Homo-oligomer: A and B are copies of this chain.
Amino acid sequence: MITGKNYIGNTLSALGSKTYTTFNPQKNTENTIVFTEATSDEINDAALLASKAFQTYSKKSGKDKAVFLRAIAEEIEALGAELIEVYTSESGLPTGRAMGERGRTVGQLRAFAAHLEEGSWIAASIDTAQPDRQPTPKVDLRKMLVPLGPIVVFGASNFPLAFSTAGGDTAAALAAGCPVLVKSHPMHAGTGELVASAIIKAAEKTGMPNGVFSNLNSSGIEVGQELVQHPVVKGVGFTGSIRGGRALFNLAANRPEPIPVFAEMGSVNPVVILPEALQEKAADWAKTYAGSITLGAGQFCTNPGLLIAIKSNQLHQFSQVLAEEIVKVEPSCMLHPAIVGAYESNKAHVVSQSGIEVLAESSQEIKGNYGRQIVSKVEGKMFLENPTLHQEVFGPFSLLVQCEDKQQLEQVVKQLEGQLTGTIIGEGEDLFNYKEVVSALQDKVGRIIFNGVPTGVEVCPSMQHGGPYPASTDARFTAVGVGSIKRWVRPFSFQSWPNNLLPEALKNENPLKILRTINGVKTTNKV
């Protein structure tokens, strides 16, 4: 049952007077449950509970934390049909997507559990003493990763499950040993509360300390600001707009004690289509991209918002087929009236720019919060001169940049901002002939794709999700995959510490049987 209250640790609380509801974009009506925004006192209580919980939670074994993460996954599954219904009623997304995203969410939790059970992620390193070394003896040093402290996670509008309450950021932080304070996303506060209740249940069942998790309702920016500025908070995870992410980054950087912010923000995910590929497969790629651009109403952070190619008859064919195909796709419901509104106004702003030619825009009859997909075209020269065209339009939108020649193509790629992904479509000698273009694209992105689409972010160790600014605020980390745990830990060294008082990971006996570095060599041996 959804109460509309906050979870301050294990306790439901609604002391505030500011309330709000969520919205059903399919029915174009407000949902009925009233949510109470967290007050400053509740925020402070949650933060202090998290700080206290850190004292014990940070010392839990990997196996204990894995039990907790697996229990969260089970409790989320146990929410059953209610979760799916609330999810669709708050997002306008279809049931299939809700179920897929739930699967991804519990899959992530279990992947982190397995990562903890295996245990080598902790990067244990041991350098043994050499008391007789000349001119000075060498001391015994042992290093491992330890958690940072309480982490604030901001729910994302476009992933009510997989990048929200128990999403990737939360799973990674809990796996690391950090308590989590979630700033619930106002568009899906009910989904958030349900998932929060699952986490709390799991925490209680597995004996985790009160305060290891809190869920704070919020309809504006104040709750998030207070959380990021709270002295006990040691890190921030965010998925959303550049404006929002940068604002939080600035707040965190200006604290007396600055803290790291990992914000995964905007991206136009440029796709470079090379000449031989156009020669051989223009129509095929046009059809594929009509699908990728409109997938999930274009509301994925890896949506291909920019297609770049050199002018040719084949490119003309590509743009014609793309125009034909894209209007065949049924328009989809977007997440919220505010998102439809922003989409329509950003789209209109781009289309009004000098030199923009609309190739096709859906003209089907649509319901209230549906977004009409559009593809348009611009000359390379105009693109280079107009920074507005480099910005993300969140929704089923893509802009084809038609370059004069190879040189202009390279120039366009070099002028792009940082991106989550870049894609190269090529055949035959394309990759060889355009290696400068490929190299320039690599400098701009976190993931480069060959002959595919950027949508679809596989959760696996080799995935990089995050790229040079403004794709993310710190390209040295990923937001997807078990490697994302590294955002919330720091290396810590013990010098000459008694073996019996060392953490298990660093003991001579290697009781965890993990892979460690001993005197520079990787091994599972004892010392």
A residues neighboring B (CB under 8 Å): 55, 120, 125-127, 136, 138-139, 141-143, 146, 148-149, 249-250, 253-254, 257-258, 260, 418, 431, 439, 442-443, 446-452, 456, 458, 460-464, 466, 468-470, 473-478, 483, 486-487, 489-498, 501, 515, 517, 520, 522
Is A143 in contact with B490, judged by CB distance below 8 angstroms?
Answer: no
Task: Let me know if A148 and B469 touch, CB within 8 A.
Answer: no
A96 smallest CB distance to B (angstroms):
10
A496 and B55 CA atoms in complex are apart in Å by 44
| Given A253-B258, A462-B493, A476-B490, 20 new contacts (CB under 8 A) | A55-B439, A127-B458, A127-B462, A136-B456, A138-B460, A141-B460, A143-B461, A143-B462, A257-B418, A257-B468, A257-B469, A258-B469, A258-B473, A447-B492, A450-B494, A461-B520, A462-B517, A463-B493, A464-B491, A522-B522
Contact A446-B493, Cβ < 8 Å, known A141-B463, A260-B474, A461-B127: yes
For the complex, give the distance between the alpha carbons of A477 and B442 in Å. 25
Would you give the shortest CB distance from A288 to chain B, in whole angstroms? 13
- Would you call A475 and B125 a contact (CB within 8 A)? no
Task: Give the CA-CA distance A100 to B508 in the complex, in Å.
Answer: 32
User: Smallest distance from the beta carbon of A158 to chain B beta carbons, Å?
Assistant: 19
User: Given the interface contacts A461-B127, A470-B257, does A448 sit within 8 Å of B493 by beta carbon?
Assistant: yes
Number of this chain's copies in the complex: 2
A-B contact pairs, 22 of them (CB 8 A): A120-B522, A125-B462, A127-B462, A136-B456, A139-B458, A141-B458, A249-B253, A257-B418, A257-B468, A257-B470, A258-B473, A260-B476, A447-B494, A448-B495, A450-B494, A450-B497, A452-B496, A462-B517, A468-B490, A476-B486, A476-B489, A515-B522
> Are the CB atoms of B501 and A431 closer together than 8 Å?
yes
Complex CA distance for A463 and B142, rounded to whole angstroms = 7
Residue among B143, B148, B258, B501 making CB contact with A463, cutoff 8 Å: B143
Closest Cβ neighbor of A246 among chain B residues? B258
Alpha-carbon separation in the docked complex, A473 to B458 (Å):
33
Kindly state the separation between the CA atoms of A332 and B15 in the bound complex, as whole angstroms.
62
A142 to chain B, nearest CB (A): 6
Residue among A260, A446, A492 with most chain B CB within 10 A: A492
A127 to B460 Cα, complex, angstroms: 7
How far apart are the CA atoms of A486 and B477 in the complex, in Å? Answer: 11
Are B447 and A493 in contact, with the CB atoms below 8 A?
yes
Pick the most buried of A125, A498, A517: most chain B CB atoms within 10 A of its CB.
A125
Are A148 and B475 touching (Cβ within 8 A)?
Answer: yes
Query: Which B residues are CB-close (under 8 A) to A141?
Result: 458, 460, 462-463
Q: Give every chain B residue within 8 A of A139 (Cβ-Cβ).
A: 452, 456, 458
Contacts of A474 in B (CB 8 A): 260
Instruction: Give the distance in Å from the alpha carbon of A496 to the alpha carbon of B127 in the complex.
Output: 39
Taking a contact as CB atoms under 8 Å apart, the answer to whether A490 and B475 are in contact is yes
* Nearest-CB residue, chain B, relative to A494: B448
Query: Which chain B residue shows the least CB distance to A517?
Result: B461
How far apart sit A465 and B233, CA to CA, in the bound complex (Å)?
Answer: 23
Q: How far is the CA of A125 from the CA of B483 in the complex (A)?
A: 11
**CB nearest neighbor in B for A447:** B493
